[in-house]
Amino acid sequence: MNRIDGRNNETLRPVKITRNFILHPAGSVLIEMGQTKVICTATIEEKVPSFLKGAGSGWVTAEYGMIPGSTGQRKSRNTKGIDGRSQEIQRLIGRSLRAIVDLKKLGERTIWIDCDVIQADGGTRTASITGAYVALTDAVNKLINEGRLAESPITTSVAAISVGIVDGEVLLDLCYEEDSKAHVDMNLVMTGEGEYIEIQGTGEEKPFTRQHMNDLMAMAEKGIMELVAHQNDALSK
């Protein structure tokens, strides 16, 4: 099909990962996927939530938000508490990162991951996870370089991507316009070894078949392996 930006069905939007984007956090990344741009930061706190005190285990948690000018119409700030969508997304980000961290090796400290969408054009949750992994890695390497950790607690990489069915065709990495008219919408979170962490799939207008699901997952796996290569390239610099 003719996609609005001229891509093939199985092609990612242009990906750019800029490390050390902000001065103060232990890890900070600007990830750009097409017109979607997210700042991901990792901040180290030398304490853990009360339910982990004395357990000899660390914690990785996330917060997610969109700045007012990130969408076509101004998005209100969460002055009255976090909205349900943002809460769902930040829990997804936190789960995805904890799945690849040995929390015992992290020690009794917390790494806060903050994902702030500065420009949204679809795929903000998946871009957040992909960028957050790089920020988390930089924060852990800082702990190691400072002698506060003996070895990395990160067991593998993690990345995420969206896929969907639009006008009967399977598409990778949907922009907002494509996502808004997709009759099947799916987000996949996977490790660099190709293991699944989370699959979120919905038939928006009608059910979908097992074959559709297989096609979506196969395309997502291909896209995630490409994202892993982008992560590795960014971390090698």
Instruction: Evaluate the CA torsion angle 95, 99, 100, 102 in order and state its sign.
Output: positive
What digits encode the pLDDT tens for the residues 123-171? Answer: 999 999 999 999 999 999 999 999 999 999 999 999 999 999 999 999 9
Within a domain: 10: no
Q: What is the pLDDT of residues 110-127, one digit of tens each?
A: 999 999 999 999 999 999
Domain-embedded: residue 2? no
| 65 in a structural domain | yes
pTM: 0.95
**Number of domains into which the chain is organized:** 1
Find the CATH number of the domain harbouring 115.
3.30.230.70
pLDDT in tens, 5-19: 999 999 999 999 999
Is 148 a member of any domain? Answer: yes
Q: What is the DSSP string of the chain?
A: ---TT---TTPPPPEEEEES-SSSSSEEEEEEETTEEEEEEEEEES---GGGTTTT--EEEEEEEE-GGGSSSPPPP-TT---HHHHHHHHHHHHHHHTTB-HHHH-S-EEEEEEEEEE-SS-HHHHHHHHHHHHHHHHHHHHHHTTS-SS--B-S-EEEEEEEEETTEEEES--HHHHHT-SEEEEEEEETTS-EEEEEEEESSS---HHHHHHHHHHHHHHHHHHHHHHHHHHT-
Does residue 149 form part of some domain?
yes
Q: Which residues are annotated as a binding site for phosphate?
A: 85, 123-125
Does residue 1 belong to any structural domain of this protein?
A: no
Domain, as residue range, for 22: 15-235
Mean per-residue pLDDT for 96-103? 98
Q: Is residue 131 part of a domain?
A: yes
Whether residue 106 has pLDDT greater than 80: yes
Feature table: binding site: 85, 123-125
Instruction: Return the pLDDT at 206.
Output: 86
* Domain-embedded: residue 9: no
